[in-house]
């Protein structure tokens, strides 16, 4: 697993801290610190996620609903 795949896996796992099931969501990077988080079952349901670095590791700073 390369560094980018490891980062995606860690970010996906962190979704549980927001009450989301990580297995139900896909991540797509749109900028260096921004991601689209899309529901696998309902692609029209998407979130906008922003990252921050803590201890040199990326973590979610915020998640916002983009569309339902």
pLDDT digits (tens, 9 = 90+) for 4-50: 899 999 999 999 999 999 999 999 999 989 999 999 999 999 999 99
Q: How confident is the model at residue 61 (pLDDT cuts 50, 70, 90)?
A: very high
Distance (Å, rounded) from C-alpha 2 to C-alpha 14? Answer: 19
Distance (Å, rounded) from C-alpha 29 to C-alpha 24? Answer: 17
Q: Count CB neighbours of 67 within 10 A.
A: 11
What's the pTM?
0.87
Q: What pLDDT is recorded for position 13?
A: 97
Q: What pLDDT is recorded for position 19?
A: 96
């Amino acid at each position: 697993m390369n560094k980018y795949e490891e980062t995606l896996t860690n970010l996906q796992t962190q979704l549980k801290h927001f009450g989301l099931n990580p297995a139900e969501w896909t991540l797509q990077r749109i900028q260096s610190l921004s991601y689209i988080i899309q529901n696998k079952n309902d692609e029209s349901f998407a979130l906008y996620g922003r990252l921050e670095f803590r201890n040199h590791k990326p973590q979610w700073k915020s998640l916002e609903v983009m569309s339902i």
